[in-house]
Structure 1
């Protein structure tokens, strides 16, 4: 995977999806599950979008940039929600989401990996 120009973003998205899955499972075991409803929903959305982004980057899809932009937005939403809760699984998830959002923005932004891949394939 090291030869993939998206390797660091793929790793961050994979780690984030796993952290979100862990958070969902732990939230469902909390005493007040109802209080965790938004967290659980955003965790599920974030994990699915992260996995979609991984697939798009692995295939060097022309949609990878758009998907990663959306992924960064949802990661921010999930991180903000998880950060509101004191449980360690939520704090760990928030950190993974923030790292993923940063990597997705770095990959898809001006001068990011996507720009380098596009210009390399144009030659």
Structure 2
């Protein structure tokens, strides 16, 4: 099944600069999914009774969501492609996702939203790592 992301990549009128389109699409899709999970997790944390205990989790969620959103946007643009910028933002996204997954995992036994967020972050970090391997 072709997703909207894959469809857009397939219709791009120029060459993607030798970047693996499947790895690129998966990374964009996982960044979008992770940004949503992190945003929802931060919001859910704000609704918890002991919100003060979740301050670092909320901050990490929000940072990760912003970085994932920016990464998806940069990866979606190919005109004037700059491999150095692409490598840097994908690496930053992988680091943010790993940090967020680790933080959410600390609360996963108590808060289901943190468990689900950690899972989304780990999946996104893996997609970023796979794309990094293909960027060279």
- The alignment's TM-score, normalised by the length of structure 1, stands at 0.87
Instruction: Pick one of 69, 89, 104 that aligns with 1:82.
Output: 104
Matched residue pairs, number?
112
Please list every run of 5 or more consecutive structure 2 residues that lacks an aligned counterpart in the other structure: 10-20
Do residues 19 (structure 1) and 37 (structure 2) align? yes
Pairwise CA distance, 1:2: 1.3
Do residues 2 (structure 1) and 6 (structure 2) align? yes
Distance 1:8 1:102 in 2: 10
Q: Which residue of 1 aligns with 2:92?
A: 70
Instruction: Pick one of 17, 38, 61 that aligns with 2:56.
Output: 38
> What CA deviation, in whole Å up to 9, does each residue of 1:28-64 have, x standing for no partner?
0000001000000000000000011001100034212
Pairwise CA distance, 1:90: 0.2
Q: Which residue of 1 aligns with 2:121?
A: 97
Please list every run of 5 or more consecutive structure 1 residues that lacks an aligned counterpart in the other structure: 116-123
Pairwise CA distance, 1:108: 1.4
Which portions of structure 1, spanning 4 or more consecutive aligned residues, are displaced by more than 4 angstroms? none
- The alignment's TM-score, normalised by the length of structure 2, stands at 0.79
Q: CA RMSD in A?
A: 1.1
